Amino acid sequence: MKRTIERTLIIIAIVLHGLAVLSLGFQWMLAEVEADLPEELTFGPQMIVALAANIVAILLAVMVLTMLGSGAKKSGYWLIGMAAGLLLATLGGSIIASVLYVIAGIMCLKRRPDA
């Protein structure tokens, strides 16, 4: 089965994670330069955890994309688990990507392969 919709949802989520990594990296760079940032934008431990979680999410999503053709059920479980872990690690900051992962995971679990 082609599973084009699942692949598209995962790729959109990867792009969202990439944008988050770029913005967090830019914020880290500004913090290293000692720019005048508001109190809310200082780079603390929560930001480091969010940056690491987004990088790990990109790597796991690429892994799931590669195994989507061979084991759709296993990919579905990975996607749903990844969405839950990502929501906890980023404290809800990646809710859109997590919802995309849950939708793709449910589709992987419920769609039947062609007989």
Instruction: Please indicate, yes or no, if residue 65 is contained in any of the structural domains.
Output: yes
Instruction: Please indicate, yes or no, if residue 90 is contained in any of the structural domains.
Output: yes
Instruction: Count up the domains in the chain and report the number.
Output: 1
Parent domain of 11:
4-110
By the 10 Å C-beta count (0-12 exposed, 13-18 middle, 19+ buried), 22 is classed as exposed
Instruction: Please indicate, yes or no, if residue 115 is contained in any of the structural domains.
Output: no
pLDDT number for residue 18: 92
pLDDT number for residue 80: 94
Give, for all 115 residues of the chain, the pLDDT tens digit.
688 888 999 999 999 999 988 988 887 777 777 666 666 666 677 888 888 999 999 999 999 999 988 888 899 999 999 999 998 888 888 899 999 999 999 998 898 765 4
Instruction: Please indicate, yes or no, if residue 8 is contained in any of the structural domains.
Output: yes
By the 10 Å C-beta count (0-12 exposed, 13-18 middle, 19+ buried), 32 is classed as exposed
pLDDT number for residue 79: 92
Full-model pTM? 0.83
CA distance 98 to 42: 25
Instruction: Please indicate, yes or no, if residue 16 is contained in any of the structural domains.
Output: yes
Instruction: Please indicate, yes or no, if residue 103 is contained in any of the structural domains.
Output: yes
